[in-house]
């Protein structure tokens, strides 16, 4: 039986293609949407804050070479490439982001969306829990 955090992540990923930028920004997870080549299409506010990188500096760039070259390993990039080729990807793994500022151990979930033909990268804490207890925009 899936735990509450896993269930919440499943729901977020299922709805991600339909979310507005503002809705993505309110999520308690880092969310990155990549096209089939690894170019960043969406980069939410929490991920921007944790990576110390503005959305403007991330969107349109190559995730695996320009933004997070530490991810260009079989464990991450290899799974991404294979999933894009198969047009089927739903995997979760632990990963260490070796950023100069704010290095961190996380759980990464990669999900291929057949609807948008993109890959969603959801970043949660090492135990699969939200990175932020609640959204900052309580409008």
Q: Identify the CATH number of the domain defined by range 4-125.
A: 3.30.450.20
pLDDT at 109 over 70: yes
Containing H/E element for 85?
helix 79-86
Q: Give residue 26's region: left, alpha or beta (phi > 0; psi -120 to 50).
A: alpha
- Give per-residue pLDDT as tens, 77-97: 999 999 999 999 999 999 998
Q: Residue 2: what pLDDT?
A: 57
Burial of 43 (C-beta count, 10 Å sphere; 0-12/13-18/19+): buried
Domains of the chain by residue range: 4-125
- Regarding pTM above 0.85, the answer is yes
pLDDT at 133 over 80: no
Cβ(59)–Cβ(32) below 8 Å: no
- Give per-residue pLDDT as tens, 50-87: 888 999 999 999 999 999 999 999 999 999 999 999 99
């Amino acid at each position: 039986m899936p735990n509450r955090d896993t269930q919440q992540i499943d729901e977020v990923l299922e709805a991600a293609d339909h979310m507005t930028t503002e809705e993505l920004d309110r999520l308690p997870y880092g969310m990155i949407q990549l096209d089939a080549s690894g170019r960043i299409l969406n980069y939410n506010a929490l991920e921007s804050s944790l990576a110390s990188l503005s959305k403007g500096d991330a969107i349109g760039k190559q995730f695996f070479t320009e933004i997070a070259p530490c991810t260009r390993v079989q464990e991450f990039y290899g799974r991404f490439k294979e999933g894009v080729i198969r047009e089927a990807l739903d995997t979760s793994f632990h990963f260490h982001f070796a950023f100069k500022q704010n290095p961190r151990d996380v759980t990464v979930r990669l999900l291929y969306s057949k609807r948008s033909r993109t890959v969603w990268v959801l970043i949660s804490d090492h135990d699969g829990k939200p990175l932020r207890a609640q959204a900052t925009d309580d409008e």
